[in-house]
Structure 1
Amino acid sequence: MTGARLLGALHGPADAPGAVNGLSRHDLLGRAAALARELAGAPAVAVHAQPGESTVVAVTAGLLAGVPVVPVPPDAGRLERAHVLTDSGAALMLSDDPAAAGDTGLAVMPVSGSTRTAAVPPEPPPRASALILYTSGTTGPPKGVVLSRAALAAGLDALAEAWQWTADDVLVHGLPLFHVHGLVLGVLGPLRVGSRLVHTGRPGPHAYAAAGGTLYFGVPTIWSRVCAAPDAARRLRSARLLVSGSAPLPVPVFRDLVELTGQAPVERYGMTETLITVSARADGDRRPGQVGLPVRGVRTRIVDEQGAPLPHDGETIGALQVRGATLFDGYLRGGRAEPPPLPGGWYGTGDVATIAADGWHRIVGRASTDLIKSGGYRVGAGEVEDALLHHPAVREAAVIGLPHPDLGEQITAYVVGEPVPPEDLIAFVAERLAAHKRPRQIRFVTDLPRNAMGKVQKARLR
């Protein structure tokens, strides 16, 4: 672990630049350390993860205290909130909203106040649990992913190297503070690296343009909206790096960003259970539709349905597996992390991908929804979606395989855009891809169901 502390840059000089939206590192450390004294010995603490400095103080306090932090989405429904708070074993909720715990009966401890202390608790062991992040699985209630301090440190150090991220950067984003993207990368990253953070509250083209950052994080929906506001997009030309993640960036949006901002975005790949494992580099290629190379300390491979390794030829699609220091400790079971199955040390991501001879990765998508087996062919949904997005009438597209008595699965596209004859879109794709990759059916919809990170929820399309 680089440095003795997970959030090493937080312990800098009192006159260091502001950490978050002008909140100084000295003030953040004093407030968080005082709160940490109240949390010592708790099995876990929940944080009402609203955008703002109170969430940053609360998460920092839990990490200083060595208590696992459980971020709770501020818009969580009653059942989701109750499940997360009960399953995690959280002893209390940190929030300035007295009603943050809903009707669960969990005590709520306020975050804001004038209390400060210079007495910082000793650094917990690297293998101690740091975060419990809940993921929405396709079946059953959300599962608690347990991440250690060592995994967080390894992941952030690898990204700092890949993106040449330093204390001189100013990071800008408006992402939610309860996921890997917005919280781990977007908050803990600056506190480890030493860069300043400007959180815009809500992401938007004009808020991003006004922030004056050198490093910007966004999901594809944000970058699409930035491109739809050309004047705001052009104001990002002074930035050093634009990073896109959490979902595939459509190729047309990639190209629009190049035209408007003068630079190609950096794409990366990861998941809650592995943190970020693959990324383009600040000083390397940026390839539309691809997410780059494994970061330091991570290895990857693709395998067939029997688990046999597949060739890295850029064409063969296989199940993506990863191994390395960024892996989670397991899913929470009975108050402890139950280690995941790791045959040979490899973790199966559930995603399918291709890997080229030079190591570059293209993520096809989830094996359950984005790998379509139609007429004896294996078709990646993302490739078909990108082809559709090149049509001027198409604003958004999501492709899935639906049961078909002859083909096995029928390639079906859900399209948001101007109404055009479906056969025109089918022919448009067939001209650009192999004929067997064309959609057999086009369904026009007013919008696509998405989660908080902008990912299309394809299970709802079914």
Structure 2
Amino acid sequence: MTLLTALQGGRGDSADALRIDGRAISREQLLGAAGAVAARAAGAGALAVLAQPTVETVTAVVAGLLAGVPVVPVPPDAGPVERAHILRDSGAELIAGVGAAVREVAAVDGIEALPVDVSEQHAFGHGEPEPQRPAFVLYTSGTTGPPKGAILSRRAVAADLDALAEAWEWTAEDTLVHGLPLFHVHGLVLGVLGALRTGSRLVHTGRPTPAAYAEAAGTLYFGVPTVWSRVAADEAAARALGGARLLVSGSAPLPVPVFDKLAILTGHRPIERYGMTETLITLSTRAGGERRPGSVGLPVTGVATRLVGEDGQPLPADGESVGELQVSGPVLFDGYLNRPAADAEVRTEDGWFRTGDVATIGPDGFHRIVGRASVDLIKSGGFKIGAGEVEAALRDHPQVADAAVVGAPDPDLGQAVVAFVIPAGPVTGDELTAFVAERLSVHKRPRRVVLVDELPRNAMGKVLKKRLLED
């Protein structure tokens, strides 16, 4: 089934088929409004979307898909440096979003604004774009330097959503609830396009608060560990989810105590799944199968996995051997935009993707993610944050001689961004936190700044980050 045929399908329509931060829209109205935007965006090289949690954001995304124009979600809290990089690197010619907000961004960044008005309706009559065409360019933080644009084809998105619908028994009878950001795979691809493709109703809560989740009365809930930790701490909200069918957690490992508490309070053992921007979702426990705390289950349909040791040799699926997880299948991205060298680094000679995560695979095929091969990719509150990007922002401060950023264990966020800074003059941690928040997305700011006289280094001058985590 083609991507847009499914988007226009479903088991019927209702005035509140999609409810986003309190505003409702029908599928028919959504497609009409998206058609109006698509008519103006057609032919553009890429369409940036200011990805606020609004009906207009969803309309703009669907418009890009209708027009066959790659959609480039832009975090609404992105600082000017980060946003300028995304717009310049992607080659976006237009940026769509809510009127005043998108006009302000367009004026600052010198790009044409495309305001979205959901009352405007137009039947966009062009045919379905080819499945190999890019659907999205999603920017993902690497371990060094600015974010890279991962190209996701229409075919990959459709294949992954269909595999997840099978794994989670996700149908048009469901009501999906989440409050996740609309500029990542989790909140946008799974949490919006998944609902449109399956025909299920969508309730986006604006923010993923326990109270909002409890009030939504859904059957299927998406959340990151930080969200589920807060739900589990609110007994009344957690018990209100007892009427749901499935709770799904992803973007970072779900702590076992949170898993167990949710199971007690809601009556549901959560589904855990694993994926990356570059691979979409490749592993998951199943709606009709066993759900083990700390396990991300089995490959979804079409995906194959393997473990490789440091010597490059395959490792056995014995539940004990730890190696780099590599994946293959139709859900993989098409590469990093304009970054052939970076793409080559994550591909094996036989075409598998190197995740950079280390894992074990049991004799029964169940996967457990052990950790990151690198300490430089921080998973905080469901976000993936490249330490190098934060370090670069800190070093831009005139009173910073050098900086090293790590992810420290945090019971709420999973990992907290902690910066170790060698000052070059009078400066405070609060000043540096604010400095980073003004330049990058707010969630990338350090939660703690430690001023030090020196950083531990090896003989080659590389900072020994594990030593920082141990101190």
The residue type equivalent to 1:112 in the other structure is D
Matched, 1:71 2:73: yes
Q: Which runs of 5+ in 1 are unaligned?
A: 372-380, 383-411, 418-448
List aligned pairs for 1:11-30, cutoff 5 A.
11-12=9-10, 15-16=13-14, 18-21=16-19, 22-30=24-32
List aligned pairs for 1:340-351, cutoff 5 A.
341-351=347-357
In the other structure, the counterpart of 1:429 is none
Distance 1:193 1:94 in 2: 26
Distance 2:146 2:221 in 1: 33
Distance 1:148 1:264 in 2: 33
Describe the SS at the equivalent of 1:144: strand
The residue type equivalent to 2:41 in the other structure is L
Q: CA deviation at 1:34?
A: 1.3
List aligned pairs for 1:48-447, cutoff 5 A.
48-96=50-98, 97=101, 98-101=103-106, 103-333=108-338, 341-369=347-375
Q: CA deviation at 1:263?
A: 1.1
Q: CA deviation at 1:101?
A: 3.3
Distance 2:333 2:115 in 1: 30
Distance 2:10 2:272 in 1: 31
Describe the SS at the equivalent of 1:252: helix
Distance 1:171 1:361 in 2: 26
> Do 1:280 and 1:291's aligned partners in 2 also have CA atoms closer than 8 Å?
yes
Aligned residues: 391
Q: CA deviation at 1:334?
A: 7.5
Q: 1:10 aligns with which of 8, 13, 28?
A: 8
Distance 1:143 1:234 in 2: 41
Describe the SS at the equivalent of 1:297: coil
Q: CA deviation at 1:413?
A: 7.2
The residue type equivalent to 2:32 in the other structure is G
Distance 2:233 2:307 in 1: 36
In the other structure, the counterpart of 1:399 is none
In the other structure, the counterpart of 1:390 is none
Distance 1:459 1:206 in 2: 38
In the other structure, the counterpart of 1:41 is 43
* Structure 2 CA distance for partners of 1:219 and 1:414, relative to 1, 3 Å: closer
> Do 2:38 and 2:124's aligned partners in 1 also have CA atoms closer than 8 Å?
no
TM-score (norm 2): 0.78
Q: CA deviation at 1:118?
A: 2.6
The residue type equivalent to 2:288 in the other structure is D
* Structure 2 CA distance for partners of 1:7 and 1:56, relative to 1, 3 Å: farther
> Do 2:74 and 2:83's aligned partners in 1 also have CA atoms closer than 8 Å?
yes
Q: CA deviation at 1:79?
A: 0.3
> Do 1:33 and 1:64's aligned partners in 2 also have CA atoms closer than 8 Å?
yes
> Do 2:179 and 2:206's aligned partners in 1 also have CA atoms closer than 8 Å?
yes
Q: CA deviation at 1:337?
A: 11
Distance 2:264 2:277 in 1: 32
* Structure 2 CA distance for partners of 1:415 and 1:202, relative to 1, 3 Å: closer
The residue type equivalent to 2:6 in the other structure is G
Describe the SS at the equivalent of 1:352: strand
Distance 1:81 1:91 in 2: 14
> Do 1:227 and 1:257's aligned partners in 2 also have CA atoms closer than 8 Å?
yes
> Do 1:329 and 1:338's aligned partners in 2 also have CA atoms closer than 8 Å?
no
Distance 1:13 1:121 in 2: 23
Distance 2:8 2:342 in 1: 28
> Do 1:221 and 1:454's aligned partners in 2 also have CA atoms closer than 8 Å?
no
Distance 2:342 2:122 in 1: 33
Q: CA deviation at 1:229?
A: 0.4
Q: CA RMSD in A?
A: 3.0
The residue type equivalent to 1:274 in the other structure is T
Distance 1:413 1:118 in 2: 51
Distance 2:446 2:262 in 1: 20
Moved more, 341-350 or 63-72: 341-350
Question: Percent of aligned pairs with the same residue?
Answer: 61
The residue type equivalent to 2:29 in the other structure is D
Describe the SS at the equivalent of 2:145: coil
Distance 2:294 2:445 in 1: 17
Distance 1:294 1:451 in 2: 34
1:98-144 CA distance string (max 9 Å, x none): 11336211111101153212333210000000000001111011000
Q: CA deviation at 1:341?
A: 2.7
TM-score (norm 1): 0.79
Distance 2:171 2:10 in 1: 14
Distance 1:147 1:293 in 2: 22
The residue type equivalent to 1:108 in the other structure is A
In the other structure, the counterpart of 1:432 is none
Distance 1:362 1:229 in 2: 28
> Do 1:66 and 1:130's aligned partners in 2 also have CA atoms closer than 8 Å?
yes
Distance 1:414 1:113 in 2: 43
* Structure 2 CA distance for partners of 1:236 and 1:300, relative to 1, 3 Å: same
- Structure of higher RCO (CA pairs closer than 8 Å, 6+ residues apart): 2
Distance 1:451 1:75 in 2: 6
Distance 1:117 1:343 in 2: 47
Distance 1:206 1:281 in 2: 27
* Structure 2 CA distance for partners of 1:17 and 1:286, relative to 1, 3 Å: farther
Q: Which runs of 5+ in 2 are unaligned?
A: 380-406, 413-436, 449-463
